[in-house]
Structure 1
């Protein structure tokens, strides 16, 4: 766990060391999720398990979910459920207060690399090139989205729209209700590992070592940021004024952006 503070509107920083650190998993921790009330942390590991922790003390609860047959690739929390995806091609819905499985979501024919949730809806992105939309309450697959040329690596759902990226270097925007691709964002030259959105902007991070900001209405790339400090970009978060990215460079990159340019980035060694 790290302290993050915002010193001004044009900079942010991360403390030089972790506040708390725990070791319980027997393999690499590949993903985590936090409950909406910030009381629970769930970690997913290459050891095929998910562990539930109490926050802020980071104490492991006696809850371990062991139903996956291979490493956990992503997880998210939706309503009272934890949803986890795996190399075993499945998505599993389970109660994070009991670790009891509620639904096994079967349909993908490749590893399920990414998940995102909004309300009762969960969208899964797979190496089989498809997205699937699920209702976590019933376990029903509501829709399958096809259109990417290669496997998918990231996904975001917001306000009935779905944003996906993958090995084909494309970001696609989908209508959740119709299953139609409404726009394809072209510009990256390698795998897209991270995508997020807010206030009409879409941000994507790629193995081509660039961050791109897109206008979600026009599909135009309005900002492109590249630095020699960047390696492959693995993760991106954003709010109305800032982006934070992490990746191969072993640094957290905090970037502020205005209407026409990206300014004032700080590199924090971790």
Structure 2
């Protein structure tokens, strides 16, 4: 089996599924779906309430028209048509990612300085009040179409992802309740499951200052994750141990 087949088999297996999504991937998924400026941290935990493989997302088509018999009253109609075909996701994930959020920041109340003596410098005493909040677990709903690709042509995959995101729009409207403490970017996301070797390509940005090949690969993947999250796309790099 190739990378795509192996990954789909592991997605179908509840015992192996968790190992496909490391902490960086889950962080990318949260960033693609939610405004995270409020201070979201890990550890991240994925919940797969439902995961279906090979899902075609039909997009309803609305048709309007009018007709009349000669000399008769004009009739008008509006019809919603389904089953005409639509984009296909390798998998559809409904569930959640649990994050930690809500921690308060420590507040410095006063700083006092006193000399230590001839040989030493000044001694500083800092008085502070610990933040009132503590990190608490919050489950963020997830509705994501997953695409598994061994190689990436960004232009083609971005267009395919946009079609999937549009088709998921109606489903996503009910997927994210209003009680979630973070504002959603989009009601649904698209995730790219790719092997780390994709980021051996030097045309990906972010690797110019890294020391060695492994560091360059990781830096490119991190930079790509940030860029794609702004487009509502989660970069989910499948670890080598699972991919192979």
For normalisation by structure 2, the TM-score amounts to 0.24
Q: Which has the larger radius of gyration?
A: 2
When you count strand as a share of all residues, which structure comes out higher? 1
Bigger relative contact order, structure 1 or 2, given CA contacts below 8 A and separation 6+?
Answer: 2
Q: Relative to total residues, which structure has the larger helix share, 1 or 2?
A: 2
TM-score (ref. length: structure 1): 0.23
